[in-house]
Amino acid sequence: MAPPIARRSRPPPSLPQRARQPSRGGAGRWVPREVAAAGRPLRRGRAAERGAGRRGGARNTMAAATAAAAPGRGRRGAPMYSQKELTSKKRDEFEDILEERRLSSDLRYAMKCYTPVIYKGLSPCKPNAIKSAVLQSEQVQYVIKQLAKEMGESPDIIQEEAMEILDEMGHNMQLGAVRFFAFTLSKIFKQLFQRVCVNEEGMQRLQHAIQEHPVVLLPSHRSYIDFLMLSYLLYTYDLALPVIAAGIDFLGMKIVGELLRRAGAFFMRRSFGGNRLYWAVFAEYVKTMLRNGYAPVEFFLEGTRSRTAKTLTPKFGLLSIVMEPFFKREVFDTYLVPISISYERILEESLYAYELLGVPKPKESTSGLLKARRILSDNFGTIHIYIGQPVSLRTLASGRINRCPYNLVPRHLPQKPSEDIQEFVSDVAYKMELLQIENMVLSPWVLVAAVLLQNLPAMDFELLIEKTLWLKGLTQTFGGFIEWPDNLCAKKAIMSGLTLHSNIARLVDGHVVLNDKGVEDGGVGEVVFKHALAILTCATYRNQLLNVFVRPSLVAIALQMTRSFRKEEVYNYFSFLRDVFSDEFIFFPGISLKDFEEGCFLLTKCDAIQTNQQEIYPTNKGGVIVSFLSAMFTPFVEGYQLIFRYLSKEAKEAFTEKQFIPGVRNFVFQLLEKGNTQCYEALSSDMQKNALAALVLLGAVKKEKMSNGFTYNVNQEAVNKILDMFDARIPVQKPVAARL
């Protein structure tokens, strides 16, 4: 621990920005009226205020496009996803909040005076008051009456049903439970993690946002830790605790479910598309809390934990619910806050790998949780939490939303969102995810994993260091947010990564190898399985790089596959890949050309290619980069080809997803056993689902809703054609290229 030094080199985070307006005396200034109550310094516990020692430097000074909401117009006009400012990123610095917890009493911390900053327009009320407000709301009452009429039942019975739904769903936030969590989580987090780092400036921005308008927190989702950690963080900084949309599965856990409920979780059923009453009650519940400014509403755009550490494509349901009060002008504005939570080592990493390989996820249960406590003795490194710039929904929507539909129907009537609203919601969802991705912190280990996976089965340690350092430079050029541990030289940093991830890889005789225990003994099948397990776990870390690399890499692949220098051809192939991988990686809808240009720009920036009006060709030294980039995505290109081949040859006439996954898994498994492919990642159910979804999108597979879920029909010819394009046997034809 460094000696106590002056804690901050920057001005202390104190008054809200507003207060810093030039003041020239006189009343009626901007400041006094609004800020008097609001202007208080962001605070954490007392240790921080005393200026206890902080770790010795190594602040990350590279940078973030704070991505102030670029006002968007229509997609065809200037899209709201503007290309990131790739050259001059400025990101905030991190502070470790555990440091303080290690220094002072957890009990005192848990019992501290908690008077959170709240929304200025808040009319305080208890959780139960919200429930009854929801039940009595015009919205819910309308649906109750409608259902009563349609089903010929008495409204009272349906009202009762609604009440039950509310009771199942509703949170019951209580300070006692919050304090309990504050205490236990302090203990647990200190056990599990070395550091929990957060950008304090982000917290400060959040503090202002919470006071000004209703706030929606949109964290990335990699682990169950996510929402616990976020609430813990807000408690630490004395901000209003969020209410969190959690899956109903948690209620299966005795005691814990109830505890979570008291800590502010509310529970939603996994699917309730058809249930109008449930939908009405749920939507109104969320909106009521948002409108009243009762608490920040938190949910995961990705819908579920990403098992691959790659950002999942967004779900739109909850997002459109929280946007509606603004569309209907029941609130002046709503802030959407993207939050990136990055784990140096993911708690659930091996569980995820099993799940991806088809070993079902254990049901959430309290006994399971207790069994999992052995992980407490393990080390999970550092967590980085980056609170992004709050994005004003009003700014995003300006000029995009036709107001008419909302003015001509009473606002309490359920209304299907118009097409342009749906499109807007989708754009916002993608924008938020891209903002999350932008501020995800990448650890050295992520780079190591990416290098290692290209050099299996074993790699010379020195070479690994060299390549990792090289990749670090490249990643930074591409705008990746690398947090290199305090002043550590490359070797030490990589060693410490290896130590932390000793379950994945280890050093043997100066070579790094994957730690696929038990491969030696056992049958062929078992060997393949174990090996797949190791690779998928390792890939989880490489995957964290992919969304940063995807645009230049797809350009690189397109260059290699088309063997042409003509920009138009390369773009066509790029665009094809982008469509095929549209569920695999996060692309802002409808801006293929911009993505292509960004990819080219980044490749030019690292001297990998040169371009002119019509042509695009690799430089002499660019070959290394181009082949590295394309190799990084080879598992996806090959994996998709395998899956498509399965669909074109093996799949039955009509099948369900439940039939598809084991089918394709067996198909790939056999190929692996025979040694006909090395693409272990094709075993990942995540990739399999994404590939299927891509074919649906491309029109090669028809998806139909049946009574028992969806069934799929393959159009063999179309799939074959796509396969041919993939192999570059036939050129990709696209009329869009005209604008190049």
Partner 1 sequence: MVVAAELLLDLLIIMGLQSHLYVFLPLRQELLKWNGWGYNDSKFIFNKKGQAEFTGKRYRLGGMVLPTFKEWMEKTFGASLDHKTTSRATLNVNDVPPSIVKEEFLQDLRAAKISYSQDAEDRVFRAHGHCLHEIFILREGMFKRVPDIVVWPVCHEDVVKIVELACKHNLCIIPFGGGTSVSSALECPEEEKRTIVSLDTSQMNRILWIDEKNLTACVEAGIVGQDLENQLAESGFCTGHEPDSMEFSSLGGWVATRASGMKKTIYGNIEDMVIHIKMVTPRGIVEKNCQVPRMSTGPDIHHFIMGSEGTLGVVTEVTIKIRPVPEYQKYGSVVFPNFERGVACLREVAKQRCAPASIRLVDNAQFQFGKYVDLLRQISLSKGFNLLLFKGFDPNILCVATLLFEGDREKVLQHEKQVYDIATKFGGLAAGEDNGQRGYMLTFVIAYLRDLGLDYYVIGESFETSVPWDRVLDLCRNVKERIVRECKEKGVQFAPLSTCRVTQTYDAGACVYFYFAFNYRGISDPIHVYEQIERAAREEILANGGSLSHHHGVGKLRKRWMKESISDVGLGMLRSVKEYVDPNNIFGNKNLL
Binding flag, residue 29, partner 1 (CB under 8 A): yes
Is the Cβ of residue 27 or residue 706 nearer to partner 1 in the bound state? 27
Is the Cβ of residue 50 or residue 329 nearer to partner 1 in the bound state? 329
Q: How many residues bind partner 1 (CB under 8 A)?
A: 17
Among 136, 407, 666, 670, binds partner 1 (CB under 8 A): 407
Instruction: Give me the least distance between CB of 146 and partner 1, in Å please.
Output: 19
Residues in CB range of 315: below 8 A, 6 or more apart: 301, 302, 303, 429
Q: Which stretch binds partner 1 (CB under 8 A): 21-29, 177-185, 265-273, 664-672?
A: 21-29
- Among 374, 359, 145, 171, smallest CA distance to 265 is for 171
Binding flag, residue 330, partner 1 (CB under 8 A): yes
Among 28, 176, 274, 675, binds partner 1 (CB under 8 A): 28
Binding flag, residue 30, partner 1 (CB under 8 A): yes
Cα distance from N-terminal residue to C-terminal residue, the chain: 56
Q: Which stretch binds partner 1 (CB under 8 A): 141-149, 400-408, 496-504, 622-630?
A: 400-408
Binding flag, residue 403, partner 1 (CB under 8 A): yes
Binding flag, residue 710, partner 1 (CB under 8 A): no
β-partners of residue 391 are 336
CB atoms within 10 A of CB 342: 24
β-partners of residue 218 are 338
Cα gap 657→648, rounded to integer Å: 16
Q: Which stretch binds partner 1 (CB under 8 A): 77-85, 265-273, 379-387, 406-414?
A: 406-414
Instruction: Give me the least distance between CB of 275 and partner 1, in Å please.
Output: 27
Instruction: Give me the least distance between CB of 330 and partner 1, in Å please.
Output: 6
| DSSP one-letter string for 480-531 | -EE---TT--HHHHHHHHHHHTTTTEEEETTEEEE--TT-SSS-HHHHHHHH
Is the Cβ of residue 40 or residue 411 nearer to partner 1 in the bound state? 411
Is the Cβ of residue 140 or residue 494 nearer to partner 1 in the bound state? 140
Cα gap 314→316, rounded to integer Å: 6
Binding flag, residue 26, partner 1 (CB under 8 A): yes
Instruction: Give me the least distance between CB of 34 and partner 1, in Å please.
Output: 8
Instruction: Give me the least distance between CB of 18 and partner 1, in Å please.
Output: 9
SS3 call for 470: helix
Cα gap 234→508, rounded to integer Å: 44
Binding flag, residue 420, partner 1 (CB under 8 A): no
Instruction: Give me the least distance between CB of 407 and partner 1, in Å please.
Output: 4
Residues in CB range of 537: below 8 A, 6 or more apart: 349, 350, 352, 353, 503, 504
Instruction: Give me the least distance between CB of 329 and partner 1, in Å please.
Output: 5
CB atoms within 10 A of CB 281: 29
Give whole-number Cα distances, 605 to 45, 482, 569, 573, 599, in Å. Answer: 45, 18, 22, 21, 10
Instruction: Give me the least distance between CB of 394 and partner 1, in Å please.
Output: 9
Binding flag, residue 492, partner 1 (CB under 8 A): no
Instruction: Give me the least distance between CB of 333 and partner 1, in Å please.
Output: 8
Whether 380 contacts 320, CB under 8 Å: no
Q: Which stretch binds partner 1 (CB under 8 A): 270-278, 399-407, 434-442, 487-495?
A: 399-407
Among 124, 360, 410, 675, binds partner 1 (CB under 8 A): 410
Q: Which stretch binds partner 1 (CB under 8 A): 280-288, 316-324, 401-409, 569-577?
A: 401-409
Tokens 């502070």 -> residue:
95
CB atoms within 10 A of CB 724: 13
- Among 14, 16, 11, 8, smallest CA distance to 50 is for 8
Binding flag, residue 406, partner 1 (CB under 8 A): yes
Is the Cβ of residue 26 or residue 124 nearer to partner 1 in the bound state? 26
Which DSSP state fits 25? S
Evaluate the CA torsion angle 556, 541, 339, 262 in order and state its sign. positive
Instruction: Give me the least distance between CB of 202 and partner 1, in Å please.
Output: 23
The residues that touch partner 1, with contacts defined as CB under 8 A, are 22, 26-30, 33-34, 329-330, 332, 403-404, 406-407, 410-411
